[in-house]
Structure 1
Amino acid sequence: MLRRPFLAFTIAGFALCAPAGFAQSAPPAMQAQVIAPDAVLGARAPELRALLGAMGLYDILAIMAAEGRESAPDLEADMFPGQGGAAWMAVVAGIYATDKMTAAFEAALPVERLSDADIASLRAFFESDLGARIAAGEIAARQAFLDPSHEQIATDLAEERAAQNHPRIAQLTEFNIVNDLVERNVSGALNANFAFYMGLSDGGAFAAPIPEEMMLAQVWDQEAAIRAETVQWLLAYQTLAYEDLSDADMAAYIALSRSAAGQAINASLFAAFDIVFNAISHDLGRAAAGFIAGEDT
């Protein structure tokens, strides 16, 4: 149910510039939300927070934050080579601060989509032996993928099994269809990339204003590549994450995903992730614009 934030930042065809008077603050619509004490999930929905803990969501968020921080050098190399250094690393570390991401995720989570009965049934599953093993496998695989060599090994194994029509690939494909993981990830990535372009534009990175329809066209050009990467990554990640599960275990997880409660938690998680990563992408774009302009942020 948990996704990788795919961000395929490219700015081909857009002229960048170093404008005078670069604004340091985010526009009002994108300012960070102040989380009121009663908005903290543990206070307003403790049973839901316990469910997310059992699912390993908070561990996954911490790993996602680490993934984001580790992406900083690549983004610098693509957009403003040699101009970022420690200052850029510090900016990205702030954007991908684990506590900030966690608070934003909890604030964005549509609590009303989940009934008490949904939460209770999901907790019963994820607090069982099977649920605990699923959560542990997902966390361990995500952690392992911080090392590209481990991701490559899992990718090779998934591709080998796909070529052999291995039964597990069929189960993983069914799991992804039931949870609509490919479409949700592709849509989320495209929206996040558009938010990144908007951040660049709001930060004054372009030599001339870029119409939104041009940005949308540029983003849409990435769809096929993002879709292919999404399918490949999901199967590789799931191959590793669920390697210790039996076919019966995997079938039980698919059945949970197909249930009303499973569909509700999946939709809720993606809704929150979309809000969080669109904001992060906009912040990254805006911050990158400052370095493209040759100014500190």
Structure 2
Amino acid sequence: MGRQTTQAGAAAKRRVAGSPVRHVGLPALLALALTFLVALAPRVAADGPAQALTDALRLEELAGLIRAEGLADAGTFVPPGPSGKTSDDTLARIEALFNPAMIRAEMQAALAAGMERDAQIRAMNFFDAPRGKSLVRMELDARAAISDPDVEAIARSDWAMRQDDSDQTIQLLKRFAEVNSLVERNTASTMTARYHFLCGLAVGAGGIPDEDAILSQVWSRQDMIRADTENWLMGYLMMAYAPADDADLKAYVAFSETPAGQAMNAALFDGFEAAYARISYGLGLIAGQATLGQEL
């Protein structure tokens, strides 16, 4: 720690403008309201509540969306080869990083480790009910839509115009974000991912990560990352829950305030952070190696 990277590693760092991670994807948005424990679904006994909860949250579908986003963005962070194109080998390595089965497994492991069985069952049973299924569907549809830069720009603009409104829907969205610490957690996750990316970048370029310098660089962008995260997040929330009514949002907030809701929120962020730390380091490694190859 504290040792400088090689000149190639430093040059590789300068080529990268941002983090390879789109906003974490709002794992807290997957904790829905429940006022009592309903009957245990038959498949829970066979597969365990963490797996049943993973299925109810449609985390496999979400992992597929993360993969699509990552592959679409990868060219921004990995320079092309001598031919001007990314090599097939590099593409295969990038695709392996975004293996949806691995992402799903990381999230399920976090649910199993971070939630008591009773909390898993409470959440899973609600997500199997009509309200839960509807809200999860809204979240996934919005996640897919906002990957389009034009849609993202509209969502950000819509939030900018309405963020000071006093109507109940806007206040509920703000309360939901506050209860789940969505801005803070997503900001921290983005900064952590950037740290791992820059470490991988230095190693890939033939250097040794200067952790103090990397941390300083990451922290220097905290305010900018937080502002961007908040704007993206609230635009996403407003778009995702546009079809929902205020009763759904009130129930969502109420569950998020419970111990089970808080445990689920924390566990899902842990799962996403583990996945993105692995992916970000791997992307940095690939980018550093590609840059080093260009300079040799």
**TM-score normalized by the length of structure 1:** 0.78
Paired residues, what number?
256
1:36 maps to none
2:120 maps to 119
What's the CA shift for 1:80?
10
1:16 maps to 11
1:278 maps to 277
2:168 maps to 167
Could you tell me whether the CA contact under 8 Å between 2:255 and 2:261 is conserved in 1? yes
Task: State the distance in 1 between where 2:82 and 2:289 align.
Answer: 10
Task: State the distance in 2 between where 1:217 and 1:82 align.
Answer: 33
Could you tell me whether the CA contact under 8 Å between 2:106 and 2:272 is conserved in 1? no
Q: Structure 1 residues 152 and 43 mapped into 2: Cα distance closer, same or farther (>3 Å)?
A: farther
What's the CA shift for 1:293?
1.1
1:50 maps to 52
Task: State the distance in 2 between where 1:159 and 1:78 align.
Answer: 37
1:103 maps to 105
Q: Structure 1 residues 249 and 80 mapped into 2: Cα distance closer, same or farther (>3 Å)?
A: farther
**TM-score normalized by the length of structure 2:** 0.78
Q: Mark the runs of 5 or more structure 2 residues left unpaired by the alignment.
A: 1-8, 13-43
Task: State the distance in 2 between where 1:163 and 1:205 align.
Answer: 49
Q: How does 1:1-297 map to 2 (within 5 A)?
A: 15-16=10-11, 46-76=48-78, 82=84, 84=86, 86-107=88-109, 109=110, 111-206=112-207, 209-294=208-293
What's the CA shift for 1:87?
4.5
Q: Structure 1 residues 15 and 80 mapped into 2: Cα distance closer, same or farther (>3 Å)?
A: farther
SS at match of 2:10: coil
Q: Structure 1 residues 49 and 255 mapped into 2: Cα distance closer, same or farther (>3 Å)?
A: same
Supply the AA of the counterpart residue of 1:72.
A
Q: Mark the runs of 5 or more structure 1 residues left unpaired by the alignment.
A: 1-13, 18-41
Q: Structure 1 residues 78 and 138 mapped into 2: Cα distance closer, same or farther (>3 Å)?
A: farther
Could you tell me whether the CA contact under 8 Å between 2:193 and 2:276 is conserved in 1? yes
Task: State the distance in 2 between where 1:253 and 1:283 align.
Answer: 36
What's the CA shift for 1:86?
4.6
Task: State the distance in 2 between where 1:88 and 1:55 align.
Answer: 32
Supply the AA of the counterpart residue of 2:68.
A
What's the CA shift for 1:120?
2.1
Task: State the distance in 2 between where 1:128 and 1:81 align.
Answer: 53
